[in-house]
């Protein structure tokens, strides 16, 4: 019986990568997206890639950051899937190597239980190019999942994880239901459910 569902945010609950959207007004979307892609394929250390990409956002207005983060496109089926899981008394949590500006707003909109992500440092209303938080490393999601399982008294057998990239691998180790959603090959290899269509409700067919 499933008791806990953990979703990645970027390219899983949300259709795209938050940091790529943030780089757009600076004319750096392609540059940032190329680094993101390498990190998601597991070709670049996640921490190094995050530091590198956030540095490129230096100077972006905090007001603009929030405007972008509050208008991100949710993945088709995100709302219905979370509602269905919650109806079955399953705790729904989001882990993101992205940013609180986006995940906390999404929590208000989609109604999941908690979000764990990173914080963009700003000073005088502009990003400084620095970042800190709970999801900085490739092992962060796995570490946080184990902590939450311990607090809730939930086992790997009662846990489902859903992700798309290499930084989701660490949480796959601690869940019996492992969903690769429109994912990179590196993650598909470790999954026992593979969904290739951009429709999160497809997950419900396996539960």
Catalytic residue IDs: 8, 10
Which positions ≥6 away from 158 have C-beta within 8 Å?
1, 2, 3, 4
Q: Beta strand pairing status for 114-123 and 126-133?
A: antiparallel
Q: What is the C-alpha separation between 47 and 187, in angstroms, rounded?
A: 18
Q: What is the C-alpha separation between 150 and 130, in angstroms, rounded?
A: 31
Q: Are 93 and 7 in contact (CB under 8 A)?
A: yes
């Amino acid at each position: 019986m499933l008791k806990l569902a953990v979703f990645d945010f970027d390219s899983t609950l949300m259709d795209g990568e938050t940091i790529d959207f943030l780089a757009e007004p600076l004319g750096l979307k392609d540059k940032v997206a190329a680094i993101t892609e390498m990190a998601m394929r597991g070709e670049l250390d996640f921490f190094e890639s995050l530091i590198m990409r956030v540095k490129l956002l230096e100077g972006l207005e905090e007001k603009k950051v929030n405007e972008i983060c509050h208008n991100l496109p949710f993945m088709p089926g995100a709302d219905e899937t979370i509602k269905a899981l919650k109806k079955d008394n399953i705790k729904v949590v989001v882990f993101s190597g992205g940013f609180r500006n986006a995940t906390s707003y999404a929590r208000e909109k989609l109604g999941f239980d908690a979000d764990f992500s990173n914080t963009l440092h700003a000073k005088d209303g502009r990003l400084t190019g620095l970042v800190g938080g709970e999801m900085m490393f490739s092992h962060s999601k796995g570490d946080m999942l184990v902590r939450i399982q311990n607090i809730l008294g939930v086992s790997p057998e009662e846990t489902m994880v859903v992700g798309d990239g290499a930084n989701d691998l660490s949480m796959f180790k601690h869940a019996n239901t492992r969903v690769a959603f429109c994912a990179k090959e590196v993650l598909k290899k470790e999954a026992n459910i593979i969904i290739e269509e951009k429709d999160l409700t497809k997950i419900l067919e396996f539960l």
